[in-house]
Each structure stands twice: as C-alpha cells, then as structure tokens.
Structure 1
Amino acid sequence: MSKRLAAACAAIMLLTGTRSALAANVVLYSSNDVQTVNSVVEQFEKENPGIKVSVVRAGTGALMQRIKAEAANPLGDIFWSGGLSTIGAYQTHLQPYKSPEENAVPAHYREPNGLWLATNTHVTVLMVNQKQLQGNPAPKGWADLAAPRWKGKIVIPDPAFSSASYVALYGLKQTLGSDVFAGVVRNAVIVGTTSAAYQGVANGEFPVAVTMEYAAQQYVAGGLGEIRLVYPSEGTFLSPEGMAMIKGAKHPAEARKLFDFLASRKIQTEIFRKAFRRPLRTDIQVGTLSSLPPLSAIKIVPLNDERMENDRADFLAQWRKLVSAR
C-alpha cells in the first residue's frame, strides 16, 4: 500500500471513529416483536442522526428482573412496552418523566407521578375459524365455551407464561364466577405460548382461541376469510401496555427524546397500521384506519391492576389444580 493510500485510509477511519464518538447511545429494553422494534428504531435514528439506539429484547418479566438486578449500575435507559400491572410491581426502579405527549392519553392510563405512560392496549377476543365450526354456531360469549360441545376445541395459552392469557382468564373468573371458569378450563387445550394459540386457529387446528385482538386481526387483514373476531357478549378485558424511564439511566436526555417519539401520534398510528396494536391516544381513531370497532363500542369489564397482580400466585395455583384434575 502506498503512503498516500495508507494516509487516506487512516483519515477515513479517524473520521468514522469521530462520528461514532459524537453519536450518543441510548439503550432500549423492549418486549415488543422484532419487526415493530426494528422499524421504529430505524425511523428514530433517521430523524435523530446524533443518537444511536441499542436494543435488548426479552419478555416483560425478564426485563423487569434485569432492571432490578442492575439497579446499582443501570445499563438500560428506557423500557417499552409491557403490562401495566407488571411495570407497577417494579416502580421503585423507575424514573418519573412527564412527557408532553401524555395529555393525549386518558388520565387513568397514566401513572400520577409520571412513573409510566400507557401506549396501547390489547383487547381479549375469541378468534374463530368458521371453517372448523362445521356449520355449528360460533360462540357468542364466555359462557358458551363452558358447554360440553366445546371440549378439545378451544385453545388457550398457559396464563403462567402469557400475561394476556392471565388477564383474560382472571377477568373471566371475576366476571362469570368459578363454575363457568372451571367449565372453560375443562374444555381447553393448553399451549405454552400466545402465538401457538392464534396460529393454531389460523392453521385450522382448532375452531376457537382465547387471544388478543391484534393477533387475530392480522389474519383478517391478510385476507384469511374464515377468521372472525368475537367480542364476548358478557364483556371483555383490556391489557394496557406502557413504557417507563429507568431510574439512574446514563442517557436521560436521549431516553426522553425516544420516549416522546414512541408516544407520539405519528408513531402510534404507524404501529397500529402495521401491527394493529390499538393505541390509547384519544386523537387516533382506529375505525378510520381498519375494520376494528372503536373501543367505545366494545363492552369492557374493568379490572383492578394492583389486585390482579396481588392475586397472581393464588390464581395460578387454582389454575394448575383445575388443569391437573381434568
């Protein structure tokens, strides 16, 4: 290599290193799916060329445990997104932040001191494959699923591993009582993951799954005509998700900028268009963007997040007892 070429290469390497050093780094802990995270991060970095985002992906529970373990030396800056009840259980490890975007979210989806902000909510639905009904009527509500004719035809994720399934089954028991709850459990095929449930119905293995609205709607939007969403007549349940700043974060200014970006109307709208994750911002009307009904048109049974989290161990013990006795 000539001296002139070597000098040019050295200059390029020096310039690249200088640019990298000037770019701030923010660490995002996220339980969202890879496609959603990558798409949002790519757009954020494009609009904020001085900030690079490093992503650590895992389940909400695992990431919250990691945040707790790293409390003396936080390695993450921001968490996005997980169930509010789980986030609330780790609130001592969160840093308050009042985003300018929060006023678009109803007050009951905001932590009063700014410890977290809800971004979207999952709605529990019955995902029905009409071909697999073989001419029989689809269930209209929870009580229908307790009837003997549904034995082996309902697929439900194990609530010990699926937070959305835990909310659905906890809400079912609270709303309709132990007898209907036990009847549904007796009839259910239990799977280990949320995706195994809705994929099982989409693939024609089961007629009905207890799952989340966004997952079922992806198949409807994708043209799978036999898939139908049923909102139970007795009422259904919400699983709000949110995000939070990590206490003691090393890049608070960059994390706040990312927080505002994720909470913005533009990004929440894009996420819904791509993944049907229902936003909680009141200035986004999902009925104009999809065939889904507005939240106001769905019968919602409210659940107490704190009580639900406190009841988790007892509920899961009862669940395991019912499953083992079948």
Structure 2
Amino acid sequence: MLTRRQFGRNLLGSALLLNGFGLSNAFAAPASRAIVYNCPAEWAGWGAMLELVKKETGIDVPMDNKNSGQAVSQIIAEAKNPVADAAYLGISFAINAKNQGLVENYKGEGWQKVPEGLKDPEGAWVSIHAGTVGFMVNVEALDGLPVPKGWKDLLDPKYEGLMGFLDPSSAFVGYACAVAANHALGGTLDDFKPALDYFKALMQNSPVVPKQTAYARCLSGEIPILFDYDFSAYRARYTDKAPIEFVIPSEGTIQVPYVMSLVKNAPHADAGRRVIDFVLSEKGQKHWAENYLRPVVGDIETLAPEAAAKFLPASEYARAGSVDYAKMAAVQVAFSEAYLKAVKG
C-alpha cells in the first residue's frame, strides 16, 4: 500500500509526464529505490552502472558489498521479511537460489532479448554479462619475478605470499576459479580431485584468501597475482592505468556468466524488474562492454570497439572453454565442503 507521500509523488510524476516535462526515454519514471544485493562499486563497472541506472530510470540503487554466497545467505535469513528486490549472482548461485525457492520468475523486455542457454527458461534468472577466468598480475609488485603463465607455475616457492584468490566456498569468482583450474588440470564436474590437490598444494605458498573483491589490493601490490576475470584486469590496466597484465593460463580456463534474479516477495518488485530490464537494454549492455565485460545482448566489437581492441588475441581465448552450468550448480555444495576439508586438513 502506498503511503501518502509516495502517492503524492506518483501523482506529481504522472502530471509532469502528461505535461511533457517527464524524462523522455523508455525507462524513465519518478524517483524510487531498489535494493540489489552484491553490486560492489569496484566490481565489474557496477559503480558507474548504479549512477547510470539512477540517471536513466530514476531508481536509486545503493552499492552493496556482498559476494554471491553472502547475498544468498542474507536472502535466506530475510525470507519472512525480504529486504532485497533483486540480486546479482554467479550463475551457479542463481540456479541454487531458484531450487531453494528464493527468487521469482520474471520474463521482462530484457529477458526476451537474451539467447537461449543464457537464461532460465522459466525466468528465474537471466545472464547480464560474462567474463573469462585468469590471472590479474601487478607486474611491478613482482619485483622482477617472471609473470606466471599457468596454474602450475604458482606452485613454485618463489611466488610464496604473492598470490590470492577469493574464497571458493563463498564467492562465485572463487568457485569459478576452482572449476577453471580443475577443468584445466584434467578434472571434471564429477571429479574435483585435480582442483582439491592443487589448492591444497597452493596453500603451502601462503596465498591470501579474502571473501570480498580484492581488486584494489591487486592494484596496490598487496596481492601481486590475483585469480580474477579479464574484465577486472583490463579495467585496471586501461582505465585505472595500473601496471597490470591479464594471463589466460597455459593449461586452460573457462568463461562464465553473471546473472540477475528478482527476489521472492521483493518489497519493491517493480523497481527491481526495471533495474533488470535496464542492465539488459542497449545502454546497459553498452556500459558493460565499455567496462570490458562480454555483453549477452549484442557483441562487444559492435557495442564497444575500442574496448574490444584491448582484449588479448582470439588465439589466447581459444583456451577458454565452458562447462555445464546446471551441473556446476548441483555439485557446488559438495565441492565447498571438500575444499574446506582439503585446505584445513
């Protein structure tokens, strides 16, 4: 039910539109607010995207510094009294959120444009962009050590204390990196032994394992080698002018999508829907492309040719494969438990 203030605001907004003074684009509406979990300002261009959302739609979306696992845990904790309207999640977390009944189906204008295979057929989630797993390397912070070329290089004691990765049992990027390493080292989604053995051995080199995005820590040199996505490395190098190189591991890697879902019983569901539609609009997809993310509607070469020209050659990306995302979601809990047991002994 609308409060008097909200009702008055809506009447004023309608009057402005009728008199020709409203915003002119299709997304425009009186100012409102949506809570979207897991949109850190320094991650994937979200900081500027939230400003663009406010400018183009009138919807205020506060920055939220959770990771995918923390976002889902919060949604579960708030199930009887939801706070979030939407969530930005790694695809495996979104699939599991659907299976737990935490999200609502939404097939909006943006959903209709996304290719099959990159959206839930029932509308529970929809991909908004994708990235390729690799190494984000601060070459100056290596103090003359060679830039690692593959997963196995990092087992060398000379890299002790110089690398980091987000917690694979909590953050989607951490889990995606573990799946990538497992895939590259001969494992499958039914056999995570290569990855478990790898991370257990890697712990001997004292890696830093944060739960939140560590972008700034890599730029500062605190974590010279960070398991992350290509879009983070390119942004660091070309936007933030940091001494960063992106490495696609010689043994191979994977590309994965990130998605958005509407939270079940969202308190401001309409605002949440409009945010999802906007990030999938031409303006939204162009923003992602300009921030070095692979768009899901259109292609990066058309939407942002200057950004596309800065990517590593296609021959390098030939080592980036894909996996069964539904299977990746199904085995995630079992992997997390096995990972924690392996690294903690």
TM bin, normalised by shorter chain, reads 0.7 to 0.9
Kept in 1, the 8 Å contact 2:254–2:323? The answer is: yes
Q: How many residues of Structure 1 are paired with residues of Structure 2 in the alignment?
A: 307
Report the CA distance between 1:26 and its aligned residue.
5.0
Q: Structure 1 vs Structure 2: percent identity of aligned residues?
A: 26
Tell me, in whole angstroms, the C-alpha distance in 2 between the residues paired with 1:262 and 1:40: 8
Give the alignment partner of residue 39 of structure 2, picking from 24, 32, 35.
Answer: 32
Tell me, in whole angstroms, the C-alpha distance in 2 between the residues paired with 1:202 and 1:312: 30
Tell me, in whole angstroms, the C-alpha distance in 1 between the residues paired with 2:229 and 2:247: 11
Report the CA distance between 1:279 and its aligned residue.
2.4
AA aligned to 1:190 is V
Report the CA distance between 1:280 and its aligned residue.
2.5
Kept in 2, the 8 Å contact 1:125–1:212? The answer is: yes
AA aligned to 2:152 is A
- Greater mean alpha carbon deviation, residues 82-91 or residues 215-224: 215-224
Tell me, in whole angstroms, the C-alpha distance in 2 between the residues paired with 1:225 and 1:15: 47
Tell me, in whole angstroms, the C-alpha distance in 1 between the residues paired with 2:47 and 2:245: 29
Give the alignment partner of residue 72 of structure 2, picking from 57, 64, 75.
Answer: 64
Q: CA RMSD in A?
A: 3.5
Report the CA distance between 1:107 and its aligned residue.
1.6
AA aligned to 1:81 is Y
- Residue 226 of structure 2 corresponds to 209
Larger radius of gyration: 1
Tell me, in whole angstroms, the C-alpha distance in 2 between the residues paired with 1:157 and 1:118: 22
- Residue 82 of structure 1 corresponds to 89
Kept in 1, the 8 Å contact 2:138–2:219? The answer is: yes
| Large movers: runs of 4+ above 6 Å | 14-17
Report the CA distance between 1:221 and its aligned residue.
1.1
AA aligned to 1:114 is G
Report the CA distance between 1:283 and its aligned residue.
3.3
Report the CA distance between 1:228 and its aligned residue.
0.9
Secondary structure of the equivalent of 1:267? helix
Kept in 2, the 8 Å contact 1:125–1:230? The answer is: yes
Q: 1:143-164: CA deviations, max 9, x gaps?
A: 2223344333322233234320
Kept in 1, the 8 Å contact 2:289–2:300? The answer is: no
Kept in 2, the 8 Å contact 1:104–1:283? The answer is: no
Trace 1:11-22 onto structure 2 (pairs within 5 A). 18-19=8-9
Report the CA distance between 1:86 and its aligned residue.
0.9
Task: Specify which structure has the higher proportion of strand.
Answer: 1
Segments of 5+ residues of structure 1 without an aligned counterpart are 1-13
| TM-score for the superposition, normalised by structure 1 | 0.77
| TM-score for the superposition, normalised by structure 2 | 0.73
Q: 1:265-311: CA deviations, max 9, x gaps?
A: 211212443x4343222333277132124889612232333433343
Kept in 1, the 8 Å contact 2:233–2:246? The answer is: yes
Cα distance change on mapping 1:54 and 1:171 into 2, 3 Å: closer
Cα distance change on mapping 1:136 and 1:307 into 2, 3 Å: same
Kept in 2, the 8 Å contact 1:235–1:301? The answer is: yes
Cα distance change on mapping 1:19 and 1:296 into 2, 3 Å: farther
Segments of 5+ residues of structure 2 without an aligned counterpart are 13-29, 186-193
